[in-house]
Structure 1
Amino acid sequence: MIREIVQIDETLCDGCGNCIPNCHEGALALIDGKARLVSELMCDGLGACLGHCPQNAITIEKRETQPYNEVETIKQMVSKGKNTVIAHLKHLKEHQQKQYLQEGLEYLQSIKATLPFDIKDIIKELHHPGLQLIKNDHGGGCPGSKSISIKRSGTNTQMTEKLNQPSELQQWPVQLHLVNPAADYFRGKDLLLSADCVAFTMGNFHHKLLKGKMLAIACPKLDQGMEIYLKKLTHLIEEAQINTLTVAMMEVPCCGGLLNLAQKAATMTYRKVPIKKIIVSIEGEILKEEWV
């Protein structure tokens, strides 16, 4: 399969760390004074980190790749030193990649006699009290596509009545590929840019998020033609002069690409627009709401 993946030129990287917080997948880490890709598994190739590197040390490489192999990955990590190995394994644990974490540890155990560091140090770091524990026992793969059974405590009659309220949708179409940025109904209005899954997850989506706003929906992981989305968003900001832009996305890592898209569009326009980030849990609760 062909994948786009981050490539870091360590001869150019000066270790400033500007790229780290802008990788919403958490695939980058600053290790021994250099930015390192600690998990190819989580790199989505969107390149949100590129524009934040003052040395132009980060590029996107398109190449034919085999299905993800944790043993081959951990071999690369070993060559970069103990701190890189720890960062990689912590990354797997924090993203609940239990199968890959186990494979990586088993490989390290099998070659512990040849390692340039003590594997006990690795185990100690992985059990640090501040590290998030694995809650679900499932196989590897993208955190956004893992199977989860959601249990709810009965039906709330009052909430059911709210769900029967009329739709707050004010325009059609809503899919970003189909949206016409030149439509009059966008001019001067507040825009909600929502990940597809948000409306299905939140029972009060219309009342809580959509009311009083125009709508565009997209999926940063599965949709094609992101450059078209970028052009439409810049047009909505600059020409339609939308008042505010609210980005609603799920808590899964791949959804971060939607906010990256909005922020990139905002940097490409002479007119500035306030952007609000809303993160929704898989259970349908708002986890975070803030202006960015």
Structure 2
Amino acid sequence: MVRQIIEIDSEKCNGCGACAAACHEGAIAMWDGKAVLLRDDYCDGLGNCLPACPTGAITFVEREAAPYDEAAVLAKKAAALRGTAPVTRSACAGSAVQALRPAETAPTAAEAGPVSYLAQWPVQLKLVPVEASFFSGARLLIAADCAAYARSDFHRRFMAGRVTVIGCPKLDEGDYTEKLAEIIRRNDIREVTVVRMEVPCCSGIQRAAETALRQSGKFIPWQVVTLGRDGNIIE
């Protein structure tokens, strides 16, 4: 079948491995210092690897290719976990952009480990791309770094069913306004919730979100929730 698929220019590839880390299907591997597409049916054609590439070595092409085979990808991942298949990703795991679960889907009681409602990765505002599939139709949570530590039920109360981005206007360099405006402008964001602490420095993240909403030119329902240092919601 003819479909959209990635193409890697080996001349432009600098071997950094960022694309392999960004591809959560494991379609890209590093071979002899260069990125290579392992198999056509491992590539879903969505291109999470494109923004990760610092040299522009990856592009989309339309060509004859095997259809994306999700079952083969899942089997490969399972084999890697069992230690019966090589793990082909490299570079820093923090550079991978991926959806961890559908934003509207809560984890079940059968899932191992503590309950988490994190819907995607990364979450830090400096690292989140301005366009990503997990933003499509998303309810966006913009949270101050400290807020999650103030309430033990932060995941269930605020993150469930939302895509989360976090930041600290006091510690992070620069301003979030422009990036937030681009995220809202370029994606189908359904609503915005800002969760901040009562401390003065947190006013920066609220101000950035409010300004970004105005600059985006969109009319989106939004709210601000302020937490006290004891975790209580301040009306």
What amino acid is the match of 2:226? I
Whole-Å Cα distance in 1 between the matches of residues 188 and 208 of structure 2? 17
What amino acid is the match of 1:244? E
The 5-angstrom pairing of residues 109-124 of structure 1 reads none
**In the alignment, structure 1 residue 244 sits paired with structure 2 residue 191:** yes
Partner of 1:175: 124
1:193 and 1:215 in contact (8 A); partners too: yes
**In the alignment, structure 1 residue 254 sits paired with structure 2 residue 201:** yes
Output one character per residue of 1:136-171: Cα deviation in whole Å (capped at 9) or x when no partner.
xxxxxxxxxxxxxxxxxxxxxxxxxxxx75100010
The 5-angstrom pairing of residues 6-155 of structure 1 reads none
Rg: which structure is higher?
A: 1
Whole-Å Cα distance in 1 between the matches of residues 186 and 161 of structure 2? 20
**Offset of residue 253 of structure 1:** 1.4
Whole-Å Cα distance in 1 between the matches of residues 205 and 221 of structure 2? 15
Output one character per residue of 1:176-195: Cα deviation in whole Å (capped at 9) or x when no partner.
00001211001111010000
1:244 and 1:273 in contact (8 A); partners too: yes
What amino acid is the match of 2:165? A
Whole-Å Cα distance in 1 between the matches of residues 169 and 221 of structure 2? 21
% identical aligned pairs? 39
Task: Judging by fraction of residues, say which structure has more strand.
Answer: 2
Question: Which blocks of at least 5 consecutive residues in structure 2 are unaligned?
Answer: 1-112
Whole-Å Cα distance in 2 between the matches of residues 273 and 223 of structure 1? 26
Whole-Å Cα distance in 1 between the matches of residues 139 and 156 of structure 2? 15
For normalisation by structure 2, the TM-score amounts to 0.50
**Offset of residue 203 of structure 1:** 0.6
Task: Judging by fraction of residues, say which structure has more helix.
Answer: 1
List structure 1 runs of 4+ shifted beyond 3 angstroms: none
Whole-Å Cα distance in 1 between the matches of residues 127 and 233 of structure 2? 28
Partner of 2:170: 221
Partner of 1:233: 180
For normalisation by structure 1, the TM-score amounts to 0.41
Partner of 1:200: 149
**Offset of residue 240 of structure 1:** 0.6
Output one character per residue of 1:55-89: Cα deviation in whole Å (capped at 9) or x when no partner.
xxxxxxxxxxxxxxxxxxxxxxxxxxxxxxxxxxx
> How many equivalent residue pairs?
123
CA RMSD of aligned residues (A): 1.3
Candidates 124, 134, 146, aligned match of 1:185: 134
Partner secondary structure for residue 123 of structure 2? coil
Which of 1 and 2 has higher RCO (CA within 8 Å, sep 6+)? 2
The 5-angstrom pairing of residues 154-165 of structure 1 reads 165=114
Partner of 1:283: 230
1:171 and 1:185 in contact (8 A); partners too: yes
Partner of 1:273: 220
Partner of 1:263: 210
1:198 and 1:249 in contact (8 A); partners too: yes
1:237 and 1:273 in contact (8 A); partners too: no
**Offset of residue 241 of structure 1:** 2.1
Partner secondary structure for residue 171 of structure 2? coil
Whole-Å Cα distance in 2 between the matches of residues 165 and 212 of structure 1? 17
